[in-house]
């Protein structure tokens, strides 16, 4: 197994429950060396994170990447804002969609690409109402019951 084939898969499960995902994009991130090392150790969280567009750039805020254990004095700040690397066309599409009321950008999945780059899947999302969440729970229960029955 090469060093880039490590399975790093950090998901934001709550995003699928809280939001209806309208569109998905995969982006890179501008990171420091100690940040990518912490991600490779699965020491990151995107649960409280959110994204926003500012001056033609997409940023992620509140993403927690724990300090690297061997970082020393050159370590990074765990919750700093990080720039997402997207094409200009994608940024313009996202910025146009986010201007609508009730639409937001949610991080969905943090993973490593085949080349070892950290990638973040973001989604254009609309918040669910309470009855939509209940419907999601019903579907989840039905699926779980079916899986039990089929075993």
What DSSP state is assigned to residue 144? H
Per-residue confidence (pLDDT) for residue 105, from 0 to 100: 92
Per-residue confidence (pLDDT) for residue 5, from 0 to 100: 52
Burial level of 103, CB count in 10 A (0-12/13-18/19+)?
A: middle
Polymer length of the chain: 151
Q: What angle do CA 14, 65, 110 make, to 5 degrees?
A: 50
Its pTM stands at 0.78
Per-residue confidence (pLDDT) for residue 135, from 0 to 100: 84
Q: List the chain domain ranges.
A: 9-150
Evaluate if residue 2 carries a pLDDT over 60. Answer: no
Q: Over the stretch 44-68, which tens digit does the pLDDT of each residue have? A: 888 888 899 999 899 999 988 888 8
Mean confidence (pLDDT) of the chain: 86
Tokens linked to 32: 């420091």
Instruction: Give the N- to C-terminal CA distance of the chain in Å, as an integer.
Output: 33
Per-residue confidence (pLDDT) for residue 9, from 0 to 100: 83
The percent of the chain in helix, strand and coil, each rounded to the nearest 5, is 35, 35, 30
Per-residue confidence (pLDDT) for residue 74, from 0 to 100: 75
**Nearest in space to 39 (alpha carbons), one of 115, 111, 144:** 111
Evaluate if residue 106 carries a pLDDT over 80. Answer: yes
- Provide the 10 A C-beta neighbour count for residue 116: 14
Asked whether 33 and 90 are in contact (CB, 8 A), the reply is no
Evaluate if residue 107 carries a pLDDT over 90. Answer: yes
Q: Over the stretch 67-90, which tens digit does the pLDDT of each residue have? A: 887 777 777 777 888 999 999 999
Q: What is the C-alpha to C-alpha distance for residues 111 and 10, in angstroms, rounded to an integer?
A: 6
Evaluate if residue 40 carries a pLDDT over 90. Answer: no
Right CATH for 9-150 from 2.40.280.10, 3.30.70.920, 3.40.50.1820, 3.40.190.10: 2.40.280.10
Position 6 confidence tier, pLDDT thresholds 50, 70, 90: low
Q: What is the C-alpha to C-alpha distance for residues 25 and 121, in angstroms, rounded to an integer?
A: 6
Per-residue confidence (pLDDT) for residue 1, from 0 to 100: 42
């Amino acid at each position: 197994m090469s060093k880039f084939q490590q399975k790093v898969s950090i998901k934001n499960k709550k995003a699928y429950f809280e939001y209806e995902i309208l569109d998905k994009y995969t982006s890179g991130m501008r990171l420091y060396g100690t940040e990518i090392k912490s991600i490779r150790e699965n020491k990151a969280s995107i649960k409280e994170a959110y994204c926003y567009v500012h001056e033609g750039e997409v940023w992620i805020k509140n993403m927690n990447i724990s300090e690297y254990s061997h970082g020393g004095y050159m370590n990074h700040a765990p919750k700093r804002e990080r720039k997402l690397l997207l094409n200009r066309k994608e940024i313009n599409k996202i910025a146009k969609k986010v201007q609508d009321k009730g639409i937001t950008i949610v991080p969905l999945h943090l993973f490593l690409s085949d080349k070892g780059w950290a990638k973040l899947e973001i989604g254009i999302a609309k918040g669910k109402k309470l009855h939509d969440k209940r419907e999601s729970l019903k579907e989840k229960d039905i699926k779980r019951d079916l899986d039990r029955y089929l075993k």
